Amino acid sequence: MQDEYRREKARVKQEPRENEGTSGQQNLIRSGQRRNEAGGAAFKANEIDILTRHLIIGQSRLILENRKEVRKNVRDLIVNLINEGKRDDLMHKIWELSIEGRCCHRSNLVYCLAFCARYRGPKEGVQDVAQAQLLKKVRQDACNMVTEVCCTPTDLFQFVADFETIGKDLYGCSGWGRAFKRAIRKWYLQKEGKKLAYFVTKYQRRYNWSHKDLLKLSHPKVDNKKGSHAAVFRYITRGYKAIQEWMDWTPKEEDLCDTLGVLYAVHQASRTDQIETIIDLVRNHGLVHEQVPNKFLKNRQVWAELFKSIPMMALIRNLGNLTAMNLFVDEEGHNGSEYLDEVCDKLKNHDHICAARIHPICILLALNVYCAGRRWKGSVSKEHSKVHWEPNERIKEALENAFYLSLKFCTKPITQRYLIAIDVSNSMFGKNERHIDYQPRSGCRGCPALLPAEVAAAMTMVFLNGCTKSPKIMAFSDDIAELDIKKDMNLSDVLQLIGRCPSGRTDCAQPMIYAKEYEIDVDVFIIFTDNETYSGDIHPCVALNDYRAFMRTKGISDEAKLVVCAMTATKYTIADHHDTGVLEIAGFDPNVAQVISEFAALQL
């Protein structure tokens, strides 16, 4: 049947058309349509949705790549939103993305906040009073949100660095005003003493800024001169000797005792040369690997002790180092140890993964790096890399399982009939041409860039394992074919299967045309695409309505829905915002599968 369908489609393509200059998808048929980057007709996404895409996904071609281009787009979008009077929508979106943890890497979100806190209009030109007051409120709102958005000192250091960079680029000065200093002081003073001591010893310096620099410029003041905050501030500005006298007497406050204990342990770790001392400090005071001197981090015994209380995200990031140190082999060198069993149990534990709130994309990135057997730095080969390892098959399987667990799927079984369509055009693979036998690969700058096709394959496996009725999985470009993906396949096998599919021009109407041609009853179409559709004679929105009308004539439900998963941060979408049966997803946060399933079940 598929061969007959392709022959009929080829015959139609060869027939002469009245409008030879452009194909159907290149003609604007709705008032809200614009030309996308490929020249096809698409709907213009609103400014808030475009900003959300950039903050969650990243650059328009590779996920989490090209920071400079992303930031330029973010600046332009923020200025447009402010000029349109959408200050409340802008600040609420920043707060929402931060609280819900929807961004894989928070750097774009922090930069967005820094720009809002620094922007005071164009350098040249006269502003009216209303515009000046509006920009002042934006800066005040941004400064008030620093404590909530900047969760760690890394975020805070980046916020300060971006704030100064933006100020010097736009206005020629850093701009440390009263509101900005108050925001920095608030960040330090609202932390508990023990947690603050943990932060300042774990994250000592980032982005050429240190805690000492921030304290000197913000001037925080404490009421209790012998309290926990006073001890931490004295430690930051004067060193451990300045609080050593406090160790001679026993303080009554529990928070002060805990704070001094953390500072004492870190100080002792920096002075000792004995591995046994480091192991005792880790065991008794709970030091993490960032608080342990680098010279001890190549020791297997130290890592064995750190492993017992290592946080989940730190564990995932250091799986390669632990494998390189043979922590997952027994004394005889055989593959298997108590630590290997514990790692696999943690990565396969739903409660541990959910409690850690690890973004699914972070796990995919970690899986990409671990499978490569080295940390990716330019074109350095595995043999010449300082740290390399042989990937453990059990850990690879456990990491892939952790990705599925990180997506909070609904507890109720999914009973709707799904048709999942994956765009396999060249643009989904980040280049104009690709090898037929596709192999997963890492990216660059120490953080591998995930191609849209890789994320689409991973999300397909999520829905395949969550549906009670096996979904029909298709691959399309300017043609369409069924993919034989099984539940027991791993992610690498799925990627290779997708990579072997013939590629061509993008026609996002193919899934609906195919379902209509073969009279397939579909409740929900899910399309993973970069929205660069331009080939074909039928627009995707028209194809969806044609399918609904056709199913209505057959006496079958015409409530078919369309979910468009935007794989790139472009300005366009094939989703018609006037159609209540269409949902657009930007990015892949832990709740995306839940949202799609609720939308399919008429709960949204």
DSSP state string for 454-492: HHHHHHHHHHHHHBSSPPEEEEESSSEEE----TT--HH
Q: Is the pLDDT of residue 439 over 70?
A: no
Q: Is the dihedral of CA 546, 550, 553, 556 positive or negative?
A: negative
The mean pLDDT value for 308-326 works out to 88
- Give the 3-state secondary structure of residue 5: helix
The mean pLDDT value for 363-387 works out to 69
How far is 27 from 471, CA to CA, in rounded Å?
Answer: 32
Pick the residue with more confidence: 108 or 136? 136
- Report pLDDT for 194: 92
Residue 448 gets which letter from DSSP? P
Starting at the edge strand found earlier in the chain, the sheet holding 480-482 runs 480-482, 472-476, 418-423, 524-529, 561-566, 582-586
The confidence band for 39, taking pLDDT boundaries of 50, 70 and 90, is very low
The mean pLDDT value for 318-344 works out to 81
How far is 257 from 260, CA to CA, in rounded Å?
Answer: 5
Q: Is the pLDDT of residue 503 over 90?
A: no
Q: Is the dihedral of CA 483, 485, 490, 493 positive or negative?
A: negative
Nearest to 372 by CA among 313, 325, 439: 439
Nearest to 141 by CA among 192, 81, 59, 54: 81
Q: Report the chain's terminal Cα–Cα distance, integer Å.
A: 37
Which of 315-319, 468-472, 529-533, 549-553 shows the lowest mean pLDDT across its residues? 529-533
Question: Tokens representing 286?
Answer: 């709970």
Q: Is the dihedral of CA 226, 228, 233, 236 positive or negative?
A: positive
Nearest to 70 by CA among 101, 106, 120: 106
Asked if 440 contacts 493 with a C-beta cutoff of 8 angstroms, the reply is no
Give exposure, 558-573, as e/b (b: 16+ Cβ within 10 Å).
eebbbbbbbbbbbbbb
Q: Is the pLDDT of residue 477 over 60?
A: yes
Q: Is the pLDDT of residue 578 over 50?
A: yes
Nearest to 516 by CA among 481, 475, 544: 544
- Report pLDDT for 424: 86
The mean pLDDT value for 233-251 works out to 79
Question: Tokens representing 556?
Answer: 């079958």
Q: Is the pLDDT of residue 380 over 60?
A: no
Q: Is the pLDDT of residue 240 over 80?
A: yes
- Report pLDDT for 446: 30
The confidence band for 590, taking pLDDT boundaries of 50, 70 and 90, is low
Tell me how crowded residue 206 is: count the other CB atoms within 10 A of its CB.
16
The mean pLDDT value for 249-258 works out to 73
Tell me how crowded residue 407 is: count the other CB atoms within 10 A of its CB.
21
Q: Is the pLDDT of residue 61 over 70?
A: no
The most confident of the ranges 44-58, 348-362, 399-413 is 348-362
The pLDDT tens digits for 303-316 are 889 888 888 888 99
Assessment of whether the complete model's pTM goes beyond 0.85: no
Nearest to 8 by CA among 381, 513, 584, 349: 513
Residue 296 gets which letter from DSSP? G
The confidence band for 437, taking pLDDT boundaries of 50, 70 and 90, is very low
- Report pLDDT for 191: 92
How far is 149 from 142, CA to CA, in rounded Å?
Answer: 9
The confidence band for 464, taking pLDDT boundaries of 50, 70 and 90, is confident
The pLDDT tens digits for 74-87 are 888 888 888 888 88
Q: Is the pLDDT of residue 146 over 90?
A: yes
How far is 536 from 515, CA to CA, in rounded Å?
Answer: 16
| Percent of all residues in the chain with a pLDDT value above 90, rounded to a whole number | 24
DSSP symbols for 421-434: EEE-SGGGGTSS--
Pick the residue with more confidence: 225 or 147? 147
Domains and CATH numbers, the chain: 310-406 (no CATH), 411-600 (3.40.50.410)
| Percent of all residues in the chain with a pLDDT value above 70, rounded to a whole number | 75
Tell me how crowded residue 465 is: count the other CB atoms within 10 A of its CB.
11
Query: 380 to each of 159, 253, 365, 377, 448, how far by Cα in Å?
Result: 32, 53, 19, 6, 14
The confidence band for 38, taking pLDDT boundaries of 50, 70 and 90, is very low
| Extended beta strands in 199-258, E state | 205-206, 209-210
Q: Give the orientation angle of helix 452-466 with respect to helix 360-372, to 10 degrees.
A: 110
194, containing H or E segment: helix 193-202
Pick the residue with more confidence: 243 or 436? 243
- Report pLDDT for 15: 39
Q: Is the pLDDT of residue 5 over 50?
A: no
Tell me which amino acid residue 236 is: I
How far is 437 from 439, CA to CA, in rounded Å?
Answer: 7
- Report pLDDT for 76: 86
Residue 289 gets which letter from DSSP? G
Please list the residues that pair with 209 across neighbouring strands.
206
The confidence band for 156, taking pLDDT boundaries of 50, 70 and 90, is very high
- Report pLDDT for 577: 63
The mean pLDDT value for 252-275 works out to 88
Q: Output phi, psi for 374, to 5 deg.
A: -165, 165
- Report pLDDT for 584: 76
How far is 75 from 539, CA to CA, in rounded Å?
Answer: 32
Mean pLDDT of the chain: 78
The confidence band for 588, taking pLDDT boundaries of 50, 70 and 90, is low
Tell me which amino acid residue 601 is: A
- Report pLDDT for 597: 78
> Scanning the structure block, which residue is given the tokens 């005003």?
177
| Extended beta strands in 105-216, E state | 205-206, 209-210
Tell me how crowded residue 144 is: count the other CB atoms within 10 A of its CB.
15
The confidence band for 571, taking pLDDT boundaries of 50, 70 and 90, is low
